[in-house]
Amino acid sequence: MSAGKILVYGGRGALGAACVNHFKAKNFWVGSIDLTENEQADLSIVVPKDGDWVTQETYVVSKVGDALNGEKLDAVICVAGGWAGGNAKKDLAKNSDLMWRQSVWTSSISAAVGARYLRDGGLLALTGANPALKGTPGMIGYGMAKAAVHQLTKSLAGNESGLPKDSVVVAILPITLDTPMNRKWMPEADYTSWTPLSYVADLLMSWTVNEKRPSNGSLIQLVTKNSNTTLKVTE
């Protein structure tokens, strides 16, 4: 018998794959949702890349429902996302559109899945971004998308948001994650200020099993210094 059931949206990304592995190692049934398959997962939902927002929502909600067959989820964890720079002068729509698909479509579809299939008292975890708490003139599309995820988190924590009774929604706001891609692109950086993926996966695990859960609607900044990560709740 499994320890519980969770979904990881973005289960093929660096952080997502780390989460899939971490929960699998703790005997959870784990579903992955992404544009490509994660073979480690018990269920892999491959989202139709060219489908529009409604099509992707309908597809994912339906596939999750089929797989659960009446059972419920302990957590829905959305760590899908991406990054693009750019200001108002060039490719604003193009970059904003990409950021919207990668961060907001995935977060809102996770919310729609959570509303239907999370158990009472379940966890919905989304991924925001520290810089988007202020203006981000050099990465305008990215900032808009993450600001939308922050506000979505607060909406979902409100009364009558559609999430099940006693469920908790939080957003993690990483600064820089210690991923292979970030090491590749920023080889000179100080890695001791980057947050390890294993730390994040373990954090999400503890919240899933209701240890040290933040209050509903929290935006939790992950601040790493000298290889030590602390949590800072956004005011």
In the complex, minimum distance from the CB of residue 143 to a second copy, in angstroms, rounded to a whole number: 5
Contact window for a second copy (CB under 8 A) among 18-26, 35-43, 85-93, 170-178: 85-93
φ and ψ of 8, to 5 deg: -120, 110
Q: Does 182 bind a second copy (CB under 8 A)?
A: no
CA-angle at 56, arms to 49 and 128, nearest 5°: 90
Please give the structure tokens belonging to residue 101: 């698909």
In the complex, minimum distance from the CB of residue 163 to a second copy, in angstroms, rounded to a whole number: 6
Out of 67, 217, 231, 234, name the contact with a second copy by CB under 8 A.
Answer: 217
Q: Is 59 a catalytic residue?
A: no
Beta pairing partners, 118: 73
Q: Are 3 and 25 in contact (CB under 8 A)?
A: no
Out of 2, 40, 87, 182, name the contact with a second copy by CB under 8 A.
Answer: 87
**201-234 per-residue burial string, b: 16 or more CB within 10 A, e: under 16:** bebbbebbeeeeebebbbbbbbbbeeeebeeeee
In the complex, minimum distance from the CB of residue 183 to a second copy, in angstroms, rounded to a whole number: 27
Q: Does 120 bind a second copy (CB under 8 A)?
A: no
Q: Which of 9, 59, 117, 142 is catalytic?
A: 142
Q: Does 72 bind a second copy (CB under 8 A)?
A: no
Q: Does 84 bind a second copy (CB under 8 A)?
A: no
Helices (H), the chain: 14-25, 53-68, 92-99, 106-117, 140-156, 180-185, 197-208
CA 105 to chain CA mean position, Å:
11
Give the separation between CA 34 and CA 89, rounded to whole angstroms: 32
Q: Does 154 bind a second copy (CB under 8 A)?
A: yes
φ and ψ of 211, to 5 deg: -100, 125
Out of 49, 88, 180, 187, name the contact with a second copy by CB under 8 A.
Answer: 88
Q: Does 135 bind a second copy (CB under 8 A)?
A: yes
The residues that are catalytic are: 142
Q: Which residues bind a second copy (CB under 8 A)?
A: 52-54, 56-58, 87-90, 92-94, 96-97, 100, 104-105, 108-109, 111-112, 114-116, 132, 134-138, 140-141, 143-145, 147-163, 217
